[in-house]
A and B are shown apart, each in its own frame.
Chain A
Amino acid sequence: MSGGGILSVLSCRAGRLPRAALEVLGAAQQLRSTASSSIAAVLVGAEVSPVIDTLAARGVDSVYLFEDDALARCTTEVHVRAVAAVVAEIRPACVLLPDSAYGRDVASRLSARLGTGLATGCVSFGATASGEPLAERTVFGGRFVERVSWAGVPRLATVKSGIFGVPHAEPGRRATLQRREVARDARANVLSVEHSEGSGSARPDIEEARVVVAAGRGFGSAEKLHLIEELADALGAAVGASRAVVDLGWLEHQHQVGQTGRSVAPDLYIACGISGAIQHLAGISSAGTIVAINRDPEAPIFGVADYGIVGEIEEILPPLAAALRERPVGRPEAGE
């Protein structure tokens, strides 16, 4: 592999690649110094070969595969050793991983093993005037942006989800395949794994959800809250609330978003019937995209929202939920 090569460390389960993995490939394309730098991928687990074609189609030049049923029951240390072996072999300039539980686990151990720096949660990549790679990450609840550089190679980074695009698919593109093996570690093993699929009956917690829809006083009464619940179901979202709603007893306090409630940083925040007092805004300052729906065109929330709809909650929410339902959301995709 020539200098400037990028190694992507990806995980997949039961033969399906999550979208986050494809976003890592998108980030790799942004990071590589020239269009001819190669992109390699390493996969460690059981049932990983089904995704090789997808990876090839999305721009990966070579795939390093550690495939064994036993690897599904292996903990991080084994994955790290596998990746380290590939790194020693191909000496990439950068190693990218998704900013997931898996990605951070592997990346941080790798950082200590290789003695090079790791930037987590990167939202963009760039370069200095002299071509040194740079990464940007948000800190302090999204209020600040930090730009970092690395002192040595390989440069390690985890890529924040929902930020980078997915590379276009070129069907028929080929990648070289290298199969490898790694020894297990007797000290640790995975006993059991349970997954929850898609938008099920249990709604996510507001601080962990990717999408939060929040209800304010504009709903008028507790009875009308079913509108927000339908919207949440259509999005697989968590339900938040302004303090007024909690004080009025319409929702429990764990839904409360705001300075004295909880701070949330979802990719998408939809504020319905919330006027936008500063204490509420303090709780959503790090939200990715903010949508505001309110009948009052002068409501302060429109001052911070990215998209705004002036209208009545009862008239906007049902067609919105319907339009969202036209395409189900929340399941991991094998590709598009």
Chain B
Amino acid sequence: MRVAVCLKQFPDDTGRLSALEDGSGLQEADCTWMLSPFDRYAVEEGLRLRAALGGECVAVHVGPDHAPSVLTEALALGVDKAVHVWDDAFPALDPLATARVLAAALRLTGPFDMILAGHRGVGEDHGQMPGLLAELLDWPQVTLAVGLTVEGESARVVREVEDGREEWRVTLPAVISAQKGLNEPRQKSLKGVLEAKRKPVLRLALKDLGTSLEDLAPQLRREHLVASPRRGAIRRIAGDPDAQARELVRLLREAGKLR
């Protein structure tokens, strides 16, 4: 079974991120780049499927090269090979353009039986990739998977939605996105880290993809990015405890915070 895992990297935000003065984005200079936590579940699931069913697990990433690279991390966890897609000629890629690039790369390096990804990328948090990819490849998709079993040519997936759980069955190939609880991701081993350097990394640029720059022109444009406005002044509630409690409930209800 051939599984591809799509990875997203984001700048580690231990509270020290800041926006650029011109509002065009984040200050990314001294950032530490990390693998999106939901992608870890996807990588882990890919590795487990390979262990159970044989085959290959490939990590794919669209994005500029940052050290440490998420692809190196995936290789260190046990992924067989990596595909790195980037071209400095790319315009700022919105989710749809990124999906088009990914889909082209996946078609080039395929065929795959399953594509796994985290259900959202922490950071810009669009959460669109699984659906976009599935539509571009004309495959079924199941998002928010917390349980996955492959049964021959199809997969049975348990997903967690707002008001409960659903069980879906899809024929493979399919796009499946991972939610927390799908599995317990492994830690990388020293052996894995050292072996990662020897595993193949395929680098793809625009000319390899068969896509044109026009196809990648952004449909969603960022007008600006600023720090969230600070909270307003606190509203202190006075009175005896009973009165305070009632007043608080009244205020929260008015603000629509209670259902």
Question: What is the interface of chain A, defined by CB distance below 8 A to chain B?
Answer: 13, 18-19, 75-77, 80, 100-102, 104-113, 115-121, 134, 138-152, 162, 165, 185, 187-196, 207, 210-211, 235-236, 259, 267-268, 282, 285-286, 288-292, 302-312, 315-316, 319-320, 322-324, 327, 329-330, 332
Contacts and interface: CB of A to CB of B under 8 A. Distances in A.
A148 B237 contact: no
A316 B245 contact: yes
B187 interface: no
Interface of B: 13-15, 17, 19, 26, 94-96, 99, 122-136, 140-144, 156, 159, 161-171, 174, 180, 217-229, 231-232, 234-237, 241-242, 244-246, 248-249, 251-252, 255-259
Nearest to A289: B257
Contacts of B19: 144
A308 B234 contact: yes
Contacts of A307: 234-237, 248, 251-252
A185 B140 contact: yes
Contact of A315 (B94, B171, B241): B241
A19 B126 CA distance: 22
Contacts of A119: 220
B245 A111 contact: no
B248 A320 contact: yes
B99 to A, nearest CB: 6
Contacts of B140: 75-77, 185, 187-188
A291 B244 CA distance: 12
Contacts of B252: 268, 289, 291, 307
A118 B169 contact: no
What's the dominant secondary structure at chain A's contact region? mixed
A141 B258 contact: no
A162 B222 contact: no
A144 B26 contact: yes
A139 B13 contact: no
A144 B24 CA distance: 12
Given A319-B246, A320-B245, A144 B225 contact: yes
Given A105-B141, A119-B220, A143-B228, A75 B168 contact: yes
A105 B251 CA distance: 35
A165 to B, nearest CB: 7
Contact of B156 (A75, A191, A320): A191
A13 B124 CA distance: 30
A309 B166 CA distance: 42
B124 A139 contact: yes
Contact of A134 (B131, B223, B227): B223
Given A120-B128, A308-B236, A320-B245, A112 B96 contact: yes
Given A101-B144, A302-B234, A306-B235, A117 B163 contact: no
Contacts of B236: 302, 307-310
A146 B122 CA distance: 15
Contact of B132 (A76, A108, A139, A327): A108
Contacts of A117: 94-96, 218-221
A219 to B, nearest CB: 16
26 contacts: A19-B259, A101-B144, A101-B159, A104-B128, A105-B143, A111-B96, A112-B136, A117-B95, A134-B223, A139-B125, A141-B122, A147-B223, A151-B221, A165-B256, A188-B170, A189-B168, A235-B258, A259-B15, A267-B257, A290-B231, A307-B251, A308-B235, A319-B242, A324-B258, A327-B258, A330-B259
A258 to B, nearest CB: 11
A19 B163 CA distance: 13
B62 to A, nearest CB: 15
Given A108-B135, A308-B234, A322-B245, A151 B219 contact: yes
B234 to A, nearest CB: 5
Nearest to A164: B256
State the 10 A-B residue pairs at the shortest beta-carbon distance, nearest first. Answer: A108-B131, A117-B219, A117-B220, A112-B135, A195-B164, A319-B245, A188-B140, A108-B128, A320-B245, A315-B241
Contacts of B15: 259, 282, 285
A289 B246 contact: no
A4 to B, nearest CB: 19
A194 B241 contact: no
Given A112-B132, A117-B220, A330-B259, 8 more contacts: A102-B161, A116-B219, A120-B127, A141-B13, A144-B19, A144-B225, A188-B170, A289-B255
A120 B219 contact: no
A334 B75 CA distance: 50
Contacts of A148: 220-223
A308 to B, nearest CB: 5
A324 B249 contact: yes
A111 B132 contact: yes
A103 to B, nearest CB: 10
Given A109-B135, A140-B17, A194 B165 contact: yes
A145 B228 contact: yes
Contacts of A291: 248, 252
B231 to A, nearest CB: 6
Given A111-B132, A117-B219, A194 B257 contact: no
A100 B166 contact: no
Given A116-B219, A143-B227, A315-B241, A306 B126 contact: no
A146 B255 contact: no
